[in-house]
Structure 1
Amino acid sequence: MIRFIRWLLFPVALLYAAIVWLRNRLYDRQLLRSTAFDIPVVVIGNLAVGGTGKSPMTEYILRILPPAMRVTVLSRGYGRKTKGFRTVATTDDATQSGDEPLQIKRKFPQTPVVVCEDRVKAIHQIKENSDAVLLDDAFQHRALRPSFSILLFDFASILKPMLPLPTGSFRDSLYESKRAGIIVITKCPDDIDHAQKMKIIAKFRKYSQAEVYFSSIAYEELVDSQGIAFTKEELTLTSVLLLTGIAKPEPLAAYLLPLVARLEQLNFGDHHQFTSTDLATVQQRFEDLAGTKKIIITTEKDWQRLPPSFLASHPIIIAPIRQQILFNEASSFDRAINNAFLQQRSVNEY
């Protein structure tokens, strides 16, 4: 039914695509103003709506940059109830900062993390104390002219027709990949081969000469809120309620299914703010879960949004993930990223 309604809205999708195309051309011809800065400003983004792995990519980049480099992470702070410029603290909750910025801050406490709807205004405020700025979702924010853009595509989406919203899930056409410095195909399956790789690269070559890399999600050891590991051996005897509020929970469910005694899922929308009614539903589903040994598994992003009282009274286990670059190209990718953060600064020093 939903799919049928989406196709009924196809004329709206065509109108949306035309408006977005016109807006981009106005920026390309500098008829609409965009602002550049004299420090490296690196953008991570996508053309589709949600679920491409921007947060894991942000974390990957923070891990490979020189420790002495003062990088500030800037985000819109989607899902927060505050407005304007805000410096994220580890003691915040998701309603103050948004779940993804809070996750980044808690994992990288020494890294400044800022949220602001107006990314240009925010960079003006932080640039004096930053060597570079990393934005986690700003490819469509054309009022900002980045020094380098990393464009992400979910593997499943790249194989389907790229239809614009609301019929499809794309905010921009593939033509806009011409603005990318690097393209990354994320969430690739384990069995992706060289032939598939070259077919996907050929698809981009009509629009962009950017290097195309491929990555997959690696699931790290499950941990509790104190960082204590929950081993795979324990999982085999455990019933699990998988609680998620992310765009695409299917890969995590598929990963856990063969590892656990029993798996049930309770899925909410991406960035969902859990209400007391939601938590009562979770409580009931957990109580109804069969088995004497049972836990709730959730993602790092969802964990940020669960109330401390709920976390303290339930056996919550977190499933951390990380990005890994495929086809033995991690060193090449890392060099390209480091160059993106160093190049403009070197130019500006002359």
Structure 2
Amino acid sequence: MLLNYLRLLLLPFSLIYGMAITLRKKLYDWGILSSVKFDLPVICVGNLAVGGSGKTPTTEYLVRLLADYKIAILSRGYGRKTKGFILADDHATAETIGDEPLQYYQKFDNITVAVCEDRVKGIEKLKENHDLIILDDAFQHRAVKAGLNILLFEFRKLGTLQFLLPAGNLRDVFSSRKRADVLLVTKSPVPLLHVAQQASVNELQPDNTQKVLHSYLKYGELKHLYHDENRSLESVKGHEIFLLTGIANPEPLIEELEKYSTTIKHEEFPDHYAFKTDDIKKFKSAFDAGMKKEKIIITTEKDSKRLKAAGFKDLLVNLPVYFLPVEVDLFEEDKFTFDELILNYVKSNRRNR
């Protein structure tokens, strides 16, 4: 509650921030600042808020959908300790390319993953050898004119009062949604009632060319952090769960785990947090002191990349520590519309190679 009051004190700064990004937006709209358009399909996955809307699993959905093409994913590489253009390889770590790009690289064969702050420069280096490029989190990067913009909105946050940074979590003005081709509402409840679906449309007020579609989260099997071992969520029913997260919005994950356990002890860190040895030692001590005989450590797939890269194996290897993969899927009608739109865009804009 105190934090909310403190944030309200920052509203004047949010007003200044809003004026600055609106001016920048106009400079691009008027052509004073230039955007570069490329001669191959460029799909941008972005959002208006800071983190937590499901960009990573949405990007992975596109990779699966477009598996017949030679794909490059280009990201800024948030949280990395390097600069410039870097191609992911077998020596890459979360520190060199960022946790999300590392996840893409380790999860998919036959795709290229690269990071670069300057997306124009990054695309220039990738365009000759690829059929299409997916820009991860680049909706505000107006220097590139993407051919197809997919803008994500978290279901539970639609209809709530949200402020611009620093008083709130919005990094862009709501009117910017008009630049998007697809307005994808993520983390929708299952089943999705028609009235809720219509409420999203009423909130987003799409124009005649925009599609409002809905996706939801699908959780997979738990995977051990170090061993080749999987187990179902059903197998942890009644366990004491020690949850370790460094993501923007862990609430959907907590809601999923609450279906299986009433005892969840959550150690929460900021998004992309660089775990320290003392953090893990403290967390391990809390786990050792757990009251139940049946207990387990669970983290997210994104966090697992930083945990494995940071050299905590000696502390964790003998513990039941698992990460929980998550995917997105779309409701049947929306899935058909979305898939057809993406495939048609790529097919009709692909260069003759």
Q: What's the TM-score once normalised by structure 1's chain length? A: 0.94
Number of residue pairs matched by the alignment:
347
Which amino acid letter does the alignment assign opposite residue 101 of structure 2? Answer: P
When residues 3 and 296 of structure 1 are mapped into structure 2, their CA distance, relative to the original with a 3 A threshold, is same
CA displacement at 1:231 relative to structure 2: 2.4
Which amino acid letter does the alignment assign opposite residue 31 of structure 2? Answer: Q
Alpha-carbon contact 2:57-2:328 (below 8 Å) kept: yes
Confirm or deny that 1:331 pairs with 2:336. Answer: yes
Confirm or deny that 1:180 pairs with 2:185. Answer: no
SS of residue matched to 1:133 = strand
Which amino acid letter does the alignment assign opposite residue 348 of structure 2? Answer: Q
Separation in structure 1 between the aligned mates of residue 277 and residue 233 of structure 2, nearest angstrom: 32
CA displacement at 1:175 relative to structure 2: 1.1
Runs of 4+ more than 3 Å apart: 206-209
How big is each residue's C-alpha offset from its partner over 1:78-131, in whole Å with a ceiling of 9 and x where there is no partner? 011111111112442211110000011111032110011111101111111111
When residues 174 and 237 of structure 1 are mapped into structure 2, their CA distance, relative to the original with a 3 A threshold, is closer
Q: Which moved more, 1:266-275 or 1:253-262?
A: 253-262
Query: Runs of 5+ in structure 1 lacking a partner?
Result: none
Separation in structure 1 between the aligned mates of residue 217 and residue 90 of structure 2, nearest angstrom: 25
Separation in structure 1 between the aligned mates of residue 8 and residue 243 of structure 2, nearest angstrom: 32
Q: Which moved more, 1:243-252 or 1:185-194?
A: 185-194
Alpha-carbon contact 1:42-1:340 (below 8 Å) kept: no
* Equivalences for residues 173-322 of structure 1 within 5 A: 173-205=173-205, 209-225=209-225, 226-260=227-261, 262-306=263-307, 307-308=310-311, 309=313, 310-322=315-327
Which amino acid letter does the alignment assign opposite residue 322 of structure 1? Answer: E
Separation in structure 2 between the aligned mates of residue 313 and residue 75 of structure 1, nearest angstrom: 34
Which residue of the partner structure matches residue 101 of structure 1?
Answer: 101
* Equivalences for residues 138-149 of structure 1 within 5 A: 138-149=138-149
How big is each residue's C-alpha offset from its partner over 1:38-95, in whole Å with a ceiling of 9 and x where there is no partner? 111110000111100000001101011142x111000000011111111112442211
| Pairwise CA RMSD | 1.8
How big is each residue's C-alpha offset from its partner over 1:268-311, in whole Å with a ceiling of 9 and x where there is no partner? 11100001111111111111112223221010000000034244
Q: What's the TM-score once normalised by structure 2's chain length? A: 0.93
CA displacement at 1:261 relative to structure 2: 6.4
CA displacement at 1:193 relative to structure 2: 1.3
Which amino acid letter does the alignment assign opposite residue 31 of structure 1? Answer: I
Alpha-carbon contact 1:235-1:261 (below 8 Å) kept: no
Which residue of the partner structure matches residue 151 of structure 1?
Answer: 151
Confirm or deny that 1:21 pairs with 2:42. Answer: no
Which residue of the partner structure matches residue 62 of structure 1?
Answer: 63
Query: Runs of 5+ in structure 2 lacking a partner?
Result: none
Separation in structure 2 between the aligned mates of residue 288 and residue 86 of structure 1, nearest angstrom: 43
* Equivalences for residues 110-121 of structure 1 within 5 A: 110-121=110-121
Alpha-carbon contact 1:89-1:102 (below 8 Å) kept: no
CA displacement at 1:239 relative to structure 2: 2.0
Alpha-carbon contact 1:164-1:170 (below 8 Å) kept: yes
Alpha-carbon contact 1:80-1:98 (below 8 Å) kept: yes
Which amino acid letter does the alignment assign opposite residue 85 of structure 1? Answer: F
CA displacement at 1:238 relative to structure 2: 2.6
Which amino acid letter does the alignment assign opposite residue 148 of structure 1? Answer: L
Separation in structure 2 between the aligned mates of residue 130 and residue 76 of structure 1, nearest angstrom: 19
